[in-house]
Amino acid sequence: MMKATFACVIAASMIAVAGCGDGSEDRLSVAEFNEQATAICKEAVQKKEALFAKAAGEYEGAQSVSKQDEAKVATEAILTPLREQVAGLSELELPEGDHPELAAMMRAFQKALKEGEANPIVLLDSQTIYPARVAAREAGIDACRG
């Protein structure tokens, strides 16, 4: 019994030591981060454009659109892709070093999402997402500007 317990303690210690380190070998380079962020943003923009086109077709010829319908379009065509985009970007670990432009972009998209979650209609106003688009441009990730 004592040998089994001791063996378990040794095995657990070895696993813990093997898991130690600064994790820098797992961090993305700036180029890798930008590449992955671009892919995430391109997918979200394509989805948003397709959903928005579908919604526009549903209301084509309508004399007016109710606030309820605006909220539905904003939720389905903008909020849902934005939610997926922010989730994907949030899974990326920022590259090692000081990259304030990338951190600012992440914060700006999270802020736009928070505002959209509170009231999806605000996403129909480009001013809500504009700061995130500017931050994406400054970070050099043009696909996130869409």
Domain ranges of the chain: 30-145
Question: What is the value of pTM for the model shown?
Answer: 0.77
CB contact set of 118 (below 8 Å; sequence gap of 6+): none
Can you name the CATH fold of 30-145? Answer: Four Helix Bundle (Hemerythrin (Met), subunit A) (1.20.120)
pLDDT digits (tens, 9 = 90+) for 7-26: 443 434 334 434 444 445 67
Chunked mean pLDDT (size 10), the chain, 146 residues: 42 40 68 94 95 86 86 92 96 90 94 96 91 93 85
Question: How much is the pLDDT for 6?
Answer: 38
How many beta carbons lie within 10 A of that of residue 77, not counting itself? 23
pLDDT in tens, 102-119: 999 999 999 999 999 999
pLDDT computed for residue 25 by the predictor? 62
